Amino acid sequence: MTATADTYETPDGRTIGGKVLEMRNITLRFGGVVAIKDISFDIREGEIRAIIGPNGAGKSSMLNVINGFYHPQEGEIWFHGEKRKPMKPYQIAKQGIARTFQNIALFKGMSTLDNIMTGRFNQMKTNMLAQMLWKGPAEREEVENREIVEKVIDFLEIQAIRKTPVGALPYGLQKRVELGRALAAQPKLLLLDEPMAGMNVEEKEDMSRFILDVNDEFGTTIALIEHDMGVVMDISDRVVVMDYGKKIGDGTPDEVINNQDVIDAYLGVDHG
């Protein structure tokens, strides 16, 4: 693999395309604290890109920069070959970036179906008057989007809990519904913040399979933060390693795992 080439082949034979998102020299400060320091990396079309690092390394801050919760003091973000102006999170969502949260952020008072239907918000266009009348355009649009949502529900195998309020669901299923809500938007770039946190081995296997299937079937570009090294090494194509807000490694899982800085960050340096 060469870093300058426009495309590259993965070991399992998939061709990864050009840059979807490029972060150039991003620096993010909170007062005197530097959360992210001069980091550059790119995410390419169709790849699964992992961001790893010890606690407090700035991984979640990086996702928050990508979807617009934080605005970096320095640096540029390029999305699909265009420099992105500072935007609100909902404007970035309209551009096709969806995400899940580390601590589940579902709409607790709504059913699974309604939660995932909410993911279709950007694709639904009927105006208020049509919504009031319901019969006609609003109902037609609702049914069209329901069909897409039902495909997501089938895909994630959550048919049985369609009408259950999500607050009543166990943790693993809630994580799955949240993934479904992000998938329903049919995003160009899917950000997953610790999709496997707090799961047992079986649930982790399920989630890994869903992530791989999403990437495989829909060709969705995925960036994920994860602490489980086994999972990261198994499913990701390229890995960014952060520590104390700095990038200390970037490359395929094999390259990263043999990087001395990365080993030092995770295992500590012998000062003796």
Partner 1 sequence: MLYREAGDYKKSYAEDSQTFPLKLDRYGYYAILAIAFLVVPFVINDYWASAVLIPFLIWSIASLGLNILTGYCGQVSLGTGGFMAVGAYASYKLMTSFPDLNIMIIVLLSGAITASVGVLFGLPSLRIKGFYLAVATLAAQFFLVWLFNKVEWFYNYSASGQISAPTRSMLGFEVTGPAASASAKYLFCLVLVVLFAWIARNLTRGRIGRSWMAIRDMDIAAEIIGVNPLKTKLTAFAVSSFFIGVAGALFFAVYLGAVEVGEAFGIQKSFLVLFMIIIGGLGSVLGSFIGAAFLVLMPVLLKNIMVIRLGWPGDLAGHLELVIIGGIIMLTLVLEPHGIAQIWRVTKQKLRLWPFPH
Residues in contact with partner 1 by the rule CB under 8 A: 67, 69, 88-90, 92-94, 98-99, 101, 105-110, 114, 117-119, 121-122, 124, 126, 128, 131-134, 138-139, 141-143, 146-147, 150, 181, 185
The number of CA neighbours under 13 Å toward the Cβ of 225 is 23
Of residues 179 and 239, the one with the C-beta less far from partner 1: 179
Any idea how long the chain is? 272
Minimum distance, C-beta of residue 88 to partner 1, in the bound complex (Å): 7
Q: Which residue, 92 or 239, has its beta carbon nearer to partner 1?
A: 92
Contact (CB, 8 A) for 77 and 83 = yes
Shortest spacing between CB 62 and partner 1, in angstroms: 15
CB of 118 to partner 1, least distance (A): 5
Picking from 87, 89, 73, the residue whose alpha carbon sits closest to that of residue 27 is: 73
**Cβ closest to partner 1, residue 83 vs residue 140:** 140
> Contact 94/158 with Cβ under 8 angstroms?
no
Q: Which residues pair with 8 in a beta bridge?
A: 16
Instruction: Compute CA distances 207 → 33, 60, 63, 111, 196, whole Å.
Output: 34, 20, 20, 21, 7
Helix or strand or coil: residue 232?
Answer: helix
Question: Cα-flanking dihedrals φ and ψ of residue 28, to 5°?
Answer: -130, 125
Task: Give me the least distance between CB of 140 and partner 1, in Å please.
Answer: 9
Cβ at position 249, least distance to partner 1 in Å: 28
d(CA 267, CA 261): 10
Non-local CB neighbours of 82 within 8 Å, separated by 6+ positions: none
In terms of CB distance, is 114 or 228 closer to partner 1? Answer: 114
CB of 103 to partner 1, least distance (A): 10
Q: Which is nearer to partner 1, 30 or 90 (CB)?
A: 90
- Cβ proximity to partner 1, 162 vs 227, nearer residue: 162
